[in-house]
Amino acid sequence: MRTVTTRTLALAAISALAVAVQAVTFTNVTMTGSLVSVPPDSFTTNANSISFFFNNANVGDLSPTRLGNVLIQYDACVDPGQSMTVDQVTINALGGLLGSGTIDFNEQVFQLDDVTMQEGPLVGSLHDVITAGELPYHNEIDLTLASECIRVKKTFTLTAADTGAVDVASLGLVNQSLTVVPEPTSMAVLGLGALAMLRRRRKA
């Protein structure tokens, strides 16, 4: 019984750290482009994710235009001793993609200096053309450098040429999640703490 209790406590300590490293601070969020509504469309944040909502980002048969774009930029930082390693993006659409409708998606991720917040090297990028039948869309960017602060720049170009059929491109929701991990030093401290806990419990 003592062994089970000891293991449970050790696992609880590890789980507590895993929860602690999930918090990401999002700042300097901008949403611009020809398809962004005025007043601006909205965004929400939750732990390690940020979601963007668009009311009228559509082109084609349901819109007066067949070409438009959405540009998103934001900064994301974690606490000292933690870093971000993977950038996950999910794109959904309220109207979807029909006929010739496409979403040309570009994303660039730059490392930021955690003191000056100056933009540094490119640590991740992604380009994809999303066509009918490919929504919801999901992809990941593995960052080339684990980073405490990053700047994310996204561009969505929607097109829907008139083919005589139903041609629509619509963007409704973009969700971004960032994978946060403790740096090696933090993991070592955790390991030592868990080991000390095990030893104390065994002596008891």
Half-sphere exposure of 121 (CA within 13 A, CB side): 6
Dist. CA 167–CA 161, nearest whole Å = 7
State the pLDDT at residue 93: 58
89-98 pLDDT per residue, tens:
888 755 689 9
70 falls within a domain: yes
Q: For the chain, how far is it from start to end, CA to CA, in angstroms?
A: 13
- CA–CA gap between residue 82 and residue 17 (Å, rounded): 11
Q: Phi-psi category of 102—alpha, beta or left, where left has phi over 0 and alpha has psi -120 to 50? A: beta
Token pair for residue 194?
Answer: 């868990």
Q: Provide the residue range defining the domain that includes 91.
A: 23-182
Indicate whether 57 belongs to any domain: yes
pLDDT digits (tens, 9 = 90+) for 21-57: 458 999 999 999 999 997 779 999 999 999 999 999 9
pLDDT-derived band at 5 (thresholds 50, 70, 90) equals low
* Summary mean pLDDT of the chain: 83
Assign residue 178 the CATH number of its domain. Answer: 2.60.120
Judge whether 14 lies within some domain.
no
Share of the chain above pLDDT 90, in %: 62
Q: What does the angle CA 6 – CA 12 – CA 13 come to, to the nearest 5 degrees?
A: 95
The total number of structural domains in the chain stands at 1
Whether 62 shows a pLDDT value over 70: the answer reads yes
Is residue 203 in a domain?
no
Secondary structure (3-state) at 188? helix
199 band by pLDDT with thresholds 50, 70 and 90: low
Which pLDDT value is given to residue 26?
A: 96
- For the residues of 26-65, what is the DSSP string, one character each? EEEEEEESTTS-SSPPEEEEETTEEEEE-SS-EEETTSS-
**Residue at 196 is within a domain:** no
Per-residue pLDDT reduced to its tens digit, 148-195: 999 999 999 999 999 999 999 999 999 999 999 885 444 444 444 444
Query: What pLDDT, on the 0 to 100 scale, is given for residue 185?
Result: 42
Judge whether residue 128 has pLDDT over 80: yes
Residue 2 domain flag: no
Residue range 76-99: average pLDDT?
A: 86
Q: How many Cβ atoms are within 10 Å of 201's Cβ, its own excluded? A: 15
Ramachandran area for residue 19 (φ above 0: left; ψ -120 to 50: alpha; else beta): alpha
Q: How far apart are CA 111 and CA 103, in angstroms?
A: 26
C-alpha 106/C-alpha 196 separation (Å) is 48
Residue 192 lies in a domain: no
Q: Identify whether 16 is part of a domain.
A: no
